[in-house]
Amino acid sequence: MQPAIEWLPAEGRPEQLILLLHGAGAEGSSMWPLAQALRGEFPQAALLAPDAPAAVDGGGPGRQWFSLAGINDDQRVQRVAAVLPALQAWVRQTQQRLQVGPAATAIAGFSQGAILALEAAVHDDGLAGRVLAFGGRFARLPAAAPRHTTVHLFHGGADAVIGAAHARAALQHLGALRGDATLDIAEGIGHELHPVLLERALFRLRNHIPARTWAAALGAVPGLPQHLADDEED
């Protein structure tokens, strides 16, 4: 995968690695608003937004991570599983190249990119310390919550492409599994990387202390109930 955006710190080695995955029919450059917001907040982070490897269905403009042609719930699970290994390998190669470890890595995705980011966290626990999912969903709600990844969900309350009900269900499900997750819903916002949601993402990255960090500091036993937050923004 070739990065459409690759921003490195002006000086010194990267302290964080933030990978941005675009939605279907778009390109890595479409993640520029999020990249710009993150760069202003985390100047020592490396920010990369690759183009998805496949041409969009029908040969139109843009790229896609997996085909949406005739998709249903079972096919979504299968198609995501087929492309995850390549994404996971690219993440690890990028971590090695830039010498940033998994705990300091965040994967942020929009729509189809958010689906990939969420599923990567479940299928390769510890690949990244945080996942930021904008307007996405799990391909299938997981049987177990990731223990080494905090999941941040951001959704427009008026999203007509992937309904906010998926985000609410994911938060409830991860909470029941003692996962570490947050949810921010912006009412009246549709399927987009809206500035309100970008600001909430910065807030979460600045202020949310992962439950595993609290557990380590307190000497807690792994598997005890973890922090769960649910905030809704108008």
In contact, 62 and 26? CB cutoff 8 Å: yes
pTM: 0.90
- H-helix or E-strand spanning residue 176: helix 164-176
Catalytic residue among 111, 152, 184, 194: 111
State mean pLDDT over 96-103: 96
Q: What is the pLDDT of residues 39-55, one digit of tens each?
A: 999 999 999 999 999 99
| pLDDT higher than threshold 90 for residue 18 | yes
Supply 216's token pair.
Answer: 């380590």
Q: How far apart are CA 95 and CA 50, in angstroms?
A: 14
Q: Which of 159, 180, 184, 227 is catalytic?
A: 159
Say whether 166 is catalytic. Answer: no
Supply the pLDDT for residue 123. 95
**Tens digit of pLDDT for each residue in 45-89?**
999 999 999 999 987 789 999 999 999 999 999 999 999 999 999
Q: Which residues, 6 or more positions from 54, have their beta carbon under 8 angstroms from its beta carbon?
A: 63, 64, 65, 66, 67
- Active site (annotated) includes residue 124: no
Instruction: State the pLDDT at residue 218.
Output: 59
User: How much is the pLDDT for 234?
Assistant: 38
**Is the per-residue pLDDT at 4 higher than 80?**
yes
Portion of the chain with pLDDT greater than 90, in percent: 84
CATH fold for domain 3-233:
Rossmann fold (3.40.50)
Selection from 66, 60, 61, 62 nearest residue 51 by Cα: 62
| Between 187 and 217, the higher pLDDT residue | 187
pLDDT at 214 over 70: no
- Is the Cα dihedral 161, 3, 47, 89 positive or negative? positive
Question: Catalytic site residue 30?
Answer: no
What's the confidence (pLDDT) of residue 85?
A: 97
pLDDT tier at 1, thresholds 50, 70, 90:
confident
Catalytic one of 22, 152, 191, 227? 191
What does the pLDDT read at residue 224? 40
Q: What is the largest CA-CA distance in the chain?
A: 54
For residue range 127-174, list pLDDT tens digits in order. 999 999 999 999 999 999 999 999 999 999 999 999 999 999 999 999
Q: In this structure, are residues 88 and 80 in contact, taking their beta carbons and an 8 Å threshold?
A: no
The torsion angles phi and psi of 232, rounded to 5 degrees, stand at -120, 135
pLDDT of residue 197: 97
